[in-house]
Structure 1
Amino acid sequence: MATVKVSDSSFKTDVIDSSKPVLVDFWAEWCGPCKQIGPALEQISDELGDKITIAKVNIDDDPETPAKFHVRGIPTLMIFKDGQVVATKVGAMTKTKLQEWVEEHA
């Protein structure tokens, strides 16, 4: 189960209306820390794909959604459950920390 690319236009369907929790990674091509956590997010998606969807929003391509959720720095990770933000983390972290955070909130 790979990560899902989400745009401003698909955000409501892919994230808000999702029947399972969604971790949204707000990122950009030029962001070093964003690229660092990319592989960890892919692995978590493979391991926990039945429990949570991992979605990525490129803030340069789709600026409306990050603005709506007051994303100030990247990477910003938000976990949505039943259309609501239940947890937010800003900055890169190890795969272990990332996985613990996901399992705590998923």
Structure 2
Amino acid sequence: MKKTDSQRSHLQGATVEQTVSQPLKLIWFSAQWCGPCQHMAPIVEATADKYRNQIHTIKVDVNADPKLADDFQIRGIPTLVLMQDGAVIDRQVGATSQAELSQWLAQHLSNQQLPDQHLPAQQ
């Protein structure tokens, strides 16, 4: 499957808010020299494809954009940061399996409330 910019992008010198407007953004902080990051590459790519209509995945090279890594207080890589409405809602540090990553994202997607949905009043 061909990857498109709408499915996944590389972020450098821009703010996360300047990217597409999908409600959830997964920011993947990595580096070319990082072995666990290289191991995670096909996992993140497959997961990005799986959730492409619900989550926008952004790859950030910490060497190319150290300010953004510092802004997000990245102390170890690989780090996955999940954002919603401009706020960090969760993060994972270290390599993970595709099943664990999918479960983590599915949990957040199931907790996501769409703007026009309202929970019934409790009685």
1:22-41 paired onto structure 2 within 5 Å:
22-41=25-44
User: Identity over aligned residues, as a percent?
Assistant: 33
CA RMSD of aligned residues (A): 1.5
Q: CA–CA distance in 2 between the matches of 1:34 and 1:93?
A: 10
List gaps (5 residues or longer) in structure 2. 110-123
Q: TM-score, normalised by structure 1?
A: 0.90
In the TM superposition, structure 1's runs of 4+ consecutive aligned residues that sit over 3 Å from their partners are none
List gaps (5 residues or longer) in structure 1. none
Select which of 90, 101, 104 maps to 2:104. Answer: 101
Q: CA–CA distance in 1 between the matches of 2:17 and 2:24?
A: 13
Q: CA–CA distance in 1 between the matches of 2:17 and 2:108?
A: 20
Q: TM-score, normalised by structure 2?
A: 0.78
Alignment partner of 1:8 is 2:18: no
Q: CA–CA distance in 2 between the matches of 1:94 and 1:9?
A: 29
Alignment partner of 1:77 is 2:80: yes
Offset at residue 8 of structure 1 (A): 2.6
Aligned residues: 104
